[in-house]
């Protein structure tokens, strides 16, 4: 079982480490620009770091969820590859946003495309799973037994 999910687990750990890195950048920016918690406004340089981290955190649950669904129900290797591409794009997004709001756009669009691919893989995998379950149920004696229960 573990070898069937090892790549997904590795990408998940990398994603958690990336999120931790982004959070640390906000802490460093708070110190550098003297913005005390819970404040979220300050110089534009601070606000870009803060927003980049917040945006990446907002997408994190979606990413992890569809990574695992795509990996379990479609293909672990393909899902893990998409996951790595997503993490690279998110790092570029964060780094670009810190420099200039405009520099976040290209990596943002790319990471969004990767999310859509993972969603597509998830849907395709689940669809195939339910089709195979439906086929198994139809081939079994279950439908006949259910009909007998309700025909009395």
The residues annotated with a catalytic role in the active site are 31, 104
Would you state the structure tokens that stand for residue 62, as one six-digit string?
């979606």
Structure token digits, residue 1 = 């079982």
> Which one-letter DSSP state was computed for residue 42?
S
Residue-level length of the chain: 152
On whether the CB atoms of residues 121 and 70 are closer than 8 A, the answer is yes
- Residue 94: closest CA among 61, 54, 36: 54
* Residue appearing with tokens 């927003």: 51
User: Could you tell me the sign of the dihedral formed by the alpha carbons of 137, 140, 141, 144, in that order?
Assistant: positive
């Amino acid at each position: 079982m573990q070898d069937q999910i090892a790549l997904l687990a590795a990408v998940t750990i990398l994603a958690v480490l990336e999120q931790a890195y982004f959070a640390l950048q906000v802490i460093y920016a708070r110190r550098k620009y003297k913005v005390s918690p819970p404040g979220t406004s300050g110089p534009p340089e601070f606000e870009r770091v803060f927003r980049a981290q917040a945006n990446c955190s907002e997408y994190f649950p979606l990413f992890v969820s569809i990574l695992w669904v795509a990996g379990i129900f479609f293909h672990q290797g393909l899902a893990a590859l998409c996951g790595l591409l997503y993490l690279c794009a998110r790092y570029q997004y964060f780094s670009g946003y810190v420099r200039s709001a405009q520099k976040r756009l290209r990596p943002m669009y790319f990471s969004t495309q990767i999310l859509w691919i993972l969603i597509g893989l998830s849907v395709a995998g689940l669809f195939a799973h339910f089709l195979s379950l439906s086929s198994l149920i139809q081939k079994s004696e279950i439908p006949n037994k259910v009909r007998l229960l309700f025909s009395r």
